[in-house]
Structure 1
Amino acid sequence: MITSFKLLKGILSLALFFSICLWLIFLFILGGIILGYGGTFGLENILEDFELNSKTTRIVLTTYLLGGYAVIIYVVYILRKLVVSLNTGRLFTKFQSAGFNLIGQIIIWLVVISSISDFILKLILNSRFEVKASFPDFWLFLAVGSFFIALGQVFEKARLIREENELTV
């Protein structure tokens, strides 16, 4: 019988593996676009919002995209380590509370930086003043990040109560 933690660990391991593979493929493809080796490799819909007139613009946009995906891969990696830690049976450890808190902070920072950089890129590259803060994108991920931070705080309080309880026994 497979437990839900083992299943979740397997899913996260697959997601981590495929994310790293896709990141490396995008690194190769976008590197080719930056250096001017051929076309856009079918990425016209991603790049159509931005006018890629100069090599510097392409380097900045590629660094931004690859950096964002690398941070997402790191979040999946931490989440996988948390699932493994929760599966060991020892709950409310310092790593678990810090891990949930870190995931929440990274998600919130990623959403805020993504929104600000999207605004700045469209303003500078396309000379368009456009503000987007739709529910599915911005507010949902802020709520998810806040949930992880709250979960980290709950785990920290439970850890402190458990340590206090172990001292009194």
Structure 2
Amino acid sequence: MKNISTLKTIINVFYWLLVLSFGGTILALLGINFAGFFTSGEGLSIFSIFNSWQFLLIFIPLLVLYFLFIKGVHHLRATMPLLSTGDLFAEKVSGHFSKAGKLFSIVGVLGILFQLIVPLIASSKMKVSLDFTTISCVFLMIIGLFFLFFGEVFQKAKMIQEENDLTI
């Protein structure tokens, strides 16, 4: 149980750091965009990028991906109280693992697509690279598939436990 309580603490801290950074990012973007209205003359050129369609096309999907990732971590966080009480085969556990897996897989796939589309938008060139972000997206897809598999395993284990309870 010590390991689960440690994992619960780590996931809670990670979740709240993600939520705070997401809120801070939105506030910073709104603040920078709002500050552009108060500048005049030469100062406007600094903030002109935030009013362009390219900004919206790049940062809005990034914020959506970030939100989906936070939602996936939230589903993992929701499993911790059930796991810490020993209720391993609750239907909620397998459901939360499956939802987290789907969200992580979606974020990974969309992250890779985003890596391919952004250079087309920004510079009208197709650029394929194997950098840290691409590897992170692939890793996130693998983690997502793992949690999908884990959710299915917990669902099967629940069915086997119910059968076992009926035969005894």
- Normalised by the shorter chain, which TM-score bucket? 0.7 to 0.9
The correspondence of residues 4-43 of structure 1 with structure 2, limited to 5 A, is 4-35=3-34, 37=36
- Structure 2, unmatched stretches of 5+, are 38-48
Q: Counterparts of 1:58 and 1:162 in 2: how far apart (Å)?
A: 52
Corresponding position: 1:130 with 2:127: yes
Q: Which has the bigger relative contact order, CA under 8 A and spacing at least 6? A: 1
Q: Counterparts of 1:34 and 1:78 in 2: how far apart (Å)?
A: 32
Q: Which runs of 4+ in 1 moved over 4 A?
A: none
Please, what TM-score do these two structures have when normalized by structure 2? 0.81
Higher helix share: 2
Out of 45, 63, 66, the residue aligned to residue 63 of structure 2 is 66
Out of 114, 118, 121, the residue aligned to residue 117 of structure 1 is 114
How many residue pairs are counted as aligned between the two chains?
A: 156
Q: Cα gap change, 1:132/1:34 in structure 2, threshold over 3 Å: closer, same or farther? A: farther
CA deviation profile, 1:78-132 (whole Å, cap 9, x unmatched): 1111122111111111111111111111111111111112212211221110123
Which residue pairs with 2:161 in the alignment?
162
Corresponding position: 1:86 with 2:86: no
Which residue pairs with 1:49 in the alignment?
none
Q: Counterparts of 1:60 and 1:71 in 2: how far apart (Å)?
A: 17
8 Å CA contact 2:107, 2:140 repeated in 1 = no
Q: Decide which structure has the larger Cα Rg and report it.
A: 2
Q: Counterparts of 1:132 and 1:142 in 2: how far apart (Å)?
A: 18
Amino acid at match of 1:163: E
Q: Counterparts of 2:28 and 2:89 in 1: how far apart (Å)?
A: 43
Which residue pairs with 2:46 in the alignment?
none
Q: Counterparts of 1:73 and 1:22 in 2: how far apart (Å)?
A: 10
Coordinate RMSD, CA, aligned: 2.3
